[in-house]
Every structure is written in C-alpha cells, then in structure tokens.
Amino acid sequence: FMKGVDITGEMIKVDRRKPLWDKVLEGRGYGDPYAFSVLVRYKPDERWTLYGNYNAWYTDINDRGGEKHGSIPGNAPASRYRYQDFNVGFKYNSREHWIYRMSFHTIRGTNTLSLDDNPSMISQKDRYNMVTASITYAF
C-alpha cells in the first residue's frame, strides 16, 4: 500500500527568553516564533519523484495571522508576520545525467521575503503563486 511513499515532518519553536530579547521586545506582547513542515513524497520508480508539501512560519505563535502586530502603528503589515506555502512538484532523473525539477506554490504571507530585494513590504501582495523549474546536468 505505501510502497514508494515517505512522509517527513519537522517543527521548530524558538524560546525568546534571554536578556536581549527582553530588551528588544519588552512590552510588545510577542509570543515565540513557530514553524512546521509536512512533506509527502512518492517514488513510483527510480527516475520519478512526485511530492506535496505544506510549510508555515509564524513570527508569533499567539498571532499566527499577524493581525495583532500588524495593527500596531509603525509595525509592518500583518502579512509580514506569517508565511504559509502549499506546493506540489516533481523531479525526473533521465538516464543521460539530466535532472528536471518543477514545482507550483500557492503562498500566503511575506515573512520569508528578503527586505533587501523587497524594500517596500507595504506594497507586497499577501497571497501569490510561484512556479519554479530547473534543469541540472550531473557529471
């Protein structure tokens, strides 16, 4: 029944409990950051891998939507405090050393976007789609 299927789950919770965190975030009402990922892969044969994945990163476990922190004057918008990504994709290893990969992502939140590459976070969309593709030659 489950031949060729593997499931991987990961999670992380950061405890903000040191003097620096207390000084930087004192009185701001932040909870701890929290993230998790669940990946399901299916390998019907040695060349093909199909997968589905859901991962999320919240800067505050008590405010997963970011609305509380986004409503504070001077703070970034709510979307900056979360990231949720559902994606599906495939990997194909050809017999000629070529590896093809492609995935489709539907994403909510801007938490993981680089501020250097996206200096105006207020104008960023909260929901967006992304397609990734790569071709690799393994020698």
57-113 pLDDT, tens digit per residue, is 998 888 899 898 888 888 888 898 899 999 999 999 998 899 999 999 999 998 888
pLDDT value for 24: 65
Q: Nearest-5° angle of CA 111, CA 115, CA 118?
A: 100
Mean pLDDT of 15-28: 69
128, 109 Cβ separation under 8 angstroms:
no
Exposure string for 8-26, b = 16+ CB within 10 A, e = fewer: eeeeeeeeeeeeeeeeeee
pTM for this one? 0.82
In 3-state terms, what secondary structure has residue 12?
strand
Give the total residue count for the chain: 139
CA distance 58 to 11: 11
CA 60 to chain centroid, in Å, comes to 15
